[in-house]
Amino acid sequence: MDEKKIEAQIQEGRTFLKTDGFEVDEDYETDQQLGKKQPPLVKAPMREERIVLPKDFDHLDMENDFLKVINTRRSHRVYCGRKMKLLELSCLLWCAQGIEGIRGKSYATLRTVPCGGARHEFECYLIIQNTEGLKDGLYHYLPWYHALECLKEMDDLKEVIDHALDEQIWAEKANVIFLFSYVCYRAEWRYGVDAARMIMADVGHIGENLYLACTSMHLGGCGVGALDGTYCDALFNLDGKEEFMLYAMPVGTIDEKDAVHEDDIYAFVKEQGL
């Protein structure tokens, strides 16, 4: 790619991010303003059976010093292989997408994570292994019920994880790969042409909630933007147009003695004298 094309694409990206980046006609109205029916607040269950998750979070060994959680939050890529407790996974899901209530009859869900216009335009899918009470495999989170549905049981997930995360093999030992899809029209109904710009902040809210929840429970996670979207869409039977994978976070159990190995990925900093 030549330098002029690279510069042009960079400028397009910057324009996209600006609040006035799009030229919109004065009489433009979103589908919400036009009075069109809003899309469903959550995706319908994909299976008949569901696994209701526990919510007795008081039984978790959690760090309650907020500043300590903030100051010790780190990205973790080294996992120890200890089995994750079902209650730990349940709490992570609650912190990332849990529904606390509803606004109006069915206008919006009120969740544990903030979102522009309370659209909550993401669905949470999971690759789960080595987790208490669950078969290894592919899952979908049902926030209305705080439950999981198993989409497919799978014995060996290493190759699946490698392919899903563009060969980032450090994630193979994660207990859970959180994968968040974007359900486009949930946001577009309200924000129209601005929807795609808005959702970047929204997915960041989810990521930070997950990071802080992991830190409070002495777990490790690492947000990932590099994923094979086409492969992940096919894996979870998404159409890749109206709904597609956008963001991932491997989460796993960690051990303090492995902390020294977390710096291995940054060995080039020392080697290159940066």
DSSP 208-239: HHHHHHHHHTTEEE--B----HHHHHHHTT--
Which residue is it, tokens 């994630």? 171
* pLDDT band for position 269 (cuts 50, 70, 90): low
Residue 210 counted as domain residue: yes
Statement: residue 1 has pLDDT above 80 = no
Which tens digits make up the pLDDT trace of 244-257? 999 999 999 999 88
**Taking residues 194-204, what's their average pLDDT?**
90
pLDDT tens digits, one per residue of 118-158: 999 999 999 999 999 999 999 999 999 999 999 999 999 99
Asked, for residue 122, whether it belongs to a domain, the answer is: yes
User: What does R_g of the chain's alpha carbons equal in angstroms?
Assistant: 20
Which residue segment(s) compose the domain that 71 sits in?
Answer: 51-271
**Buried/exposed code over 193-207 (b: 16+ C-beta within 10 A; e: otherwise):** ebbebbbeebbebbb
Give the integer Cα–Cα distance in Å for 155 and 153: 7
CA distances to 26, 79, 263 from 267, in Å: 53, 19, 7
Q: Is residue 121 part of a domain?
A: yes
Residue 21 belongs to some domain of the structure: no
CATH code for the domain of 170? 3.40.109.10
What is the reported pTM?
A: 0.94
The residue whose two tokens read 């808005």 is 198
Question: Where does the pLDDT of residue 12 fall: very low under 50, low under 70, confident under 90, or very high at 90 and above?
Answer: confident
SS3 content of the chain, % helix, strand, coil (to 5): 40, 20, 40
92 domain-assigned = yes
In a domain, 34, yes or no: no
The pLDDT of residue 53 is 98
80: pLDDT confidence band, cut at 50, 70 and 90? very high
Q: Is the Cβ–Cβ distance between 249 and 177 less than 8 Å?
A: yes
pLDDT score of 23 more than 90: no
Cβ-contact 175, 251 below 8 angstroms: yes
Question: What's the chain's average pLDDT?
Answer: 94
The number of folded domains in the chain is 1
Nearest to 70 by CA among 257, 216, 263, 250: 216
Q: Is the pLDDT of residue 266 over 90?
A: no
